[in-house]
């Protein structure tokens, strides 16, 4: 059955015509789905019972079920574990900032990219999420918190550019009028650097922020941390970033996870400066969150500060990412992983 929550308004309009309904019904249904965020056709009270039955026969209205939520006592960050209609589970995070609420969503069930420090990839890729499943993480969190979501970051489990078509549709549905209508400027998509799709995204000329997971200042070192670097040379990835800026005018964010003794020396900082100095960018330093399956450790505070100072002295725009929800299940993908391991053991 067609997933009605993944349809654009114009597609929904065509659908209504095809089942013999008036066009204006599409706008009503779209508003129930994407503004009023209902989970059931029976909640669409301005539609006749007959039409609701017809919709049930012809369309699927998938929604996520909340399995677990953990809220930090330190900063009110909440981590959500949701079950999808096929039984898979995914995680999302709500972060509360002065400038508004930000939600970090997953784009896939698992990931096949194999980055060495990441919990999301430990069991490989199950499947990409549908547009409705990406949206519903935001919808369910907004309903749970009873507060509007202002920013969305696609930085949870999965590689969004490995689920490209669904991602683009999701962006459209999230940002268009008639839905939550979140500004494109309040949306960030993070990638490990899938070059052809970075270029395709640039050609869409959207106003979203592209974040590139860089994590190393040389091709050789990047290869040891991120297998995707075997496919795309660092120079190609950086060229794709320059291209993104030229097409959209949007400053690039580079994410750099600092791993103790691996990529956090002053020499690394110097090389990094050389690499990005001609790119209009911002660098986000992320102290790596150790996962038990790997032996990477976080850099010490002194090394992190020295690294930051070195970049700043060269005029690079840099921040250290504040760790949110330090007291609740650590790194991205870990909540899901620990839940699944427990289920496997039948506890
Ligand atoms: C989980 S990924 C999802 C988006 C996309 N796949 C990517 O790699 O950019 C989001 C960011 O989290 C970072 N990350 C993953 N595991 C981490 C860990 N254990 N500690 C710190 N950052 C981590 C990634 O490197 C990436 O920059
Ligand atoms: S860091 Fe991103 S691309 Fe790499 S394994 Fe994790 S989710 Fe996948």
For 266, the enclosing helix (H) or strand (E) is: helix 266-276
Residue 333 corresponds to which tokens in the numbers above?
Answer: 């993908």
Q: Whose CA is nearest to atom 11 of ligand 1?
A: 155
Q: ipTM value of the model?
A: 0.99
User: Is 190 annotated as belonging to a binding site?
Assistant: yes
Contact of 157 with 108, CB cutoff 8 Å: yes
Compute the Cα dihedral for 300, 302, 303, 308 and give only its sign.
positive
Ligand at minimal distance from the CA of 211 is 1
Ligand 1 atom 2, closest CA? 155
Known binding residue 111? Answer is yes
Query: What is the 156 CA–ligand 2 centroid distance (Å)?
Result: 9
Measured distance CA(162)–CA(189) in Å, rounded: 12
Q: Do 144 and 114 belong to one domain?
A: yes
**Residues 7 and 108 placed together within one structural domain of the fold:** no
Minimum mean pLDDT among 16-20, 74-78, 129-133, 306-310: which range? 74-78
What pLDDT does residue 326 have? 65
Q: Is the CB of 159 under 6 A from ligand 2?
A: yes
User: pTM for this one?
Assistant: 0.95
Distance 297 CA to ligand 2 centre (A): 18
Q: Is 106 in the pocket of ligand 1 (CB under 6 A)?
A: no
> Which residue's CA is the nearest one to ligand 1's atom 22?
288
From residue 303, how far is each of 4, 211, 256, 264 by CA, in Å? 51, 24, 14, 7
**Is 104 annotated as a binding-site member?**
no
What CATH number has the domain bearing residue 9?
Answer: 1.10.150.530
Positions annotated as catalytic residues are 91, 332
Pocket of ligand 1 contains residue 286 by CB under 6 Å: yes
- Report whether 20 belongs to an annotated binding site: no
- Same domain? For 44 and 185 the reply is no
CA distance 193 to 199: 10
Instruction: Give the pLDDT mean for 152-159.
Output: 97
Other C-beta atoms lying within 10 Å of the C-beta of residue 87: 6
Nearest alpha-carbon partner for 197 in 186, 184, 212, 183: 212
Average of per-residue pLDDT across 55-59: 96
Q: What is the CATH number of the domain that holds 189?
A: 3.20.20.70
Q: Any idea what DSSP says for residue 298? A: B
- Does the beta carbon of 268 lie inside 6 Å of ligand 1? no
| Nearest atom of ligand 2 to the alpha carbon of 213 | 1
What percent of the chain lies above the pLDDT cut of 70? 94
Same domain, 32 and 88: no
What's the pLDDT band for 291 if we cut at 50, 70, 90? confident
Co-location of 41 and 160 in the same domain: no
Asked whether 121 and 111 are in contact (CB, 8 A), the reply is yes
Q: Is 255 in the pocket of ligand 1 (CB under 6 A)?
A: yes
Q: Which of 15, 31, 60 is the last residue of a domain?
A: 60
Our count of domains for the chain comes to: 2
Domain span including residue 249: 65-344
Centre of ligand 2 from the C-alpha of residue 110, in Å = 9
CA-nearest residue for atom 27, ligand 1, is 213
Residues 335 and 202 reside in one and the same domain: yes
Establish whether 176 is an annotated binding residue. no
Residues 214 and 173 sit within 8 Å (Cβ to Cβ): no
Nearest alpha-carbon partner for 271 in 227, 228, 316 = 316
To test ligand 1's pocket by mutation, which of 134, 190, 229 has the most ligand atoms within 8 angstroms of CB? 190
Answer yes or no: do 9 and 114 share one domain. no
Is 215 known as a binding-site position? yes
Are 70 and 185 within one domain? Answer: yes
For the segment 163-190, what is each residue's pLDDT rounded down to a tens digit?
Answer: 999 999 999 999 999 999 999 999 999 9
Q: Does residue 38 sit in the same domain as residue 162?
A: no
Least reliable range by pLDDT among 51-65, 187-201, 326-340: 326-340
257 lines ligand 2 (CB under 6 A): no
> Of 12, 33, 60, which marks where a domain is finished?
60
Helical (H) or strand (E) element with 285? strand 281-287
Answer yes or no: is the C-beta of 197 below 6 A from any ligand 1 atom: no
For residue 347, is pLDDT > 60? no
- Cα of 155 vs centre of ligand 1, distance in Å, is 7
Q: Could you tell me the distance, in angstroms and rounded to a whole number, from the CA of residue 144 to the centre of ligand 2?
A: 27
> What share of the chain has pLDDT > 90, as a percent?
87
In terms of domains, do 6 and 94 share one?
Answer: no
One domain, residues 9 and 133: no
The answer, yes or no, to whether any atom of ligand 2 lies below 6 A from the CB of 113, is yes
Q: Are 81 and 130 contained in the same domain?
A: yes
């Amino acid at each position: 059955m067609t997933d009605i929550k993944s349809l654009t308004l114009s597609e929904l309009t065509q659908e209504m015509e095809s089942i013999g309904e008036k066009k204006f019904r599409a706008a009503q249904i779209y508003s129930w789905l994407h503004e009023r965020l209902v989970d059931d056709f029976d909640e669409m009270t301005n539609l006749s019972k007959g039409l609701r039955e017809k919709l049930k026969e012809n369309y699927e209205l998938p929604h996520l079920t909340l399995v677990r939520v953990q809220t930090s006592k330190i900063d009110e960050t909440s981590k959500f574990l949701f079950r999808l209609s096929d039984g898979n589970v995914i995680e999302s995070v709500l972060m509360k900032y002065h400038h508004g609420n930000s939600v970090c969503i997953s784009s896939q069930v698992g990931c096949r990219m194999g980055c060495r420090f990441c919990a999301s990839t430990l069991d490989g890729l199950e499947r990409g999420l549908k547009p409705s499943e990406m949206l519903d993480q935001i919808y369910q969190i907004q309903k749970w918190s009873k507060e509007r979501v202002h920013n969305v970051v696609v930085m949870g489990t999965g590689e969004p550019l490995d689920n490209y078509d669904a991602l683009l549709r999701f962006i459209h549905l999230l940002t268009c009028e008639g839905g939550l209508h979140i500004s494109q400027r309040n949306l960030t998509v993070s990638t490990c650097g899938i070059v052809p799709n970075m270029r395709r995204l640039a050609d869409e000329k959207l106003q979203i922020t592209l974040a590139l997971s860089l994590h190393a200042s040389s091709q050789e070192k990047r290869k040891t941390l991120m297998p995707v670097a075997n496919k795309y040379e660092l120079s190609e990835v950086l060229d794709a970033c320059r291209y993104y800026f030229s097409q959209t005018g949007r400053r690039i964010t580079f994410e750099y996870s600092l791993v103790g003794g691996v990529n956090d020396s002053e020499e690394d900082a110097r090389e990094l400066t050389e690499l990005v100095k001609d790119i209009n960018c911002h660098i986000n330093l992320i102290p790596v969150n150790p996962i038990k399956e790997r032996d990477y450790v976080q850099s010490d505070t002194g090394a992190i500060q020295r690294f930051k100072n070195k970049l700043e002295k060269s005029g690079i725009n840099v921040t250290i990412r504040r760790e949110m929800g330090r007291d609740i299940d650590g790194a991205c993908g870990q909540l899901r992983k620990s839940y699944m391991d427990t289920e496997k053991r039948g506890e």
